[in-house]
């Protein structure tokens, strides 16, 4: 089980979202490395993806197709 340390993980998530408003591709690329098929993602990876979508919906809609496909597919 992955450890949740809200004190610093919340701050790190907020920082990634703030950076992602201007550099969505870069932040999404880093988050997707931690979001793999068949592996339960860390709580804060999902939280950060959700907050990024909220903060930058217009741009991130295109990228979230990758997130959805990753979430429902398993590696062979």
pLDDT score at 20: 92
Tell how many helices (H) and how many strands (E) occur in the chain: 4, 0
Report the distance separating Cα 18 and Cα 26, nearest Å: 12
Tally Cβ neighbours within 10 Å of residue 9: 17
Report pTM: 0.80
What letter would DSSP give residue 39? S
pLDDT score at 22: 92
pLDDT score at 1: 63
Report the distance separating Cα 40 and Cα 25, nearest Å: 22
What are the boundaries of each domain within the chain? 24-76
Report the distance separating Cα 16 and Cα 28, nearest Å: 9
Mean pLDDT, 10 residues at a time, the chain of 76 residues: 87 96 90 85 92 82 76 63
């Amino acid at each position: 089980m992955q450890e949740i340390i809200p004190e610093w993980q919340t701050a790190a998530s907020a920082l990634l979202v703030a950076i992602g408003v201007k550099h969505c591709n870069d932040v999404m690329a880093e988050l997707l490395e931690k979001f793999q098929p068949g592996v339960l993602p860390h709580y804060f990876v999902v939280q950060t993806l959700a907050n990024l979508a909220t903060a930058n919906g217009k741009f991130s809609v295109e990228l979230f197709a990758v997130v959805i496909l990753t979430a429902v597919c398993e590696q062979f």
